[in-house]
Amino acid sequence: MSFFSNLFGGPQTAAVEEIKEQLAAGALILDVRTEGEFAQGKIANAINVPVQVLSQYTAELKKQNKPFVVYCRSGARAATATSILNSAGMKAVNAGGIADLQAMMS
């Protein structure tokens, strides 16, 4: 893990296995970047809900009744979003930045 991943909330080594397990179990992938960032490239099957409006969609997301693997560009917004989802009673794990998650999925 790089210094910047640790600083900005990227996944720690112990969390990588949890993220892989959640993905294998059918967790939904949540991209919390802006719509513009999402349009420039995304993880396959990711749902885009920008962190700035995430609180407005927690009830709808909770209805999915699945855990979430959350990512953004660097991991900082994903950390915020993970906290929002967990506080709303959902299971969510921070996968860090998009490159972090892509590496885990390859």
Q: For the segment 81-102, what is each residue's pLDDT rounded down to a tens digit?
A: 999 999 999 999 999 999 999 9
> 51 or 8: which carries more pLDDT confidence?
51
Q: Which domains does the chain have, with CATH numbers?
A: 3-105 (3.40.250.10)
CB 59 within 8 A of CB 82: no
Single pTM value for the model:
0.87
> 8 or 30: which carries more pLDDT confidence?
30
**Per-residue pLDDT at 12:** 58
* Cα(41)–Cα(37) distance, integer angstroms: 7
Q: CA torsion angle for 86, 89, 93, 96 (degrees, to 10)?
A: -40
Least confident interval from 3-7, 14-18, 65-69, 81-85: 3-7
Confidence class for position 10, pLDDT limits 50, 70, 90: low
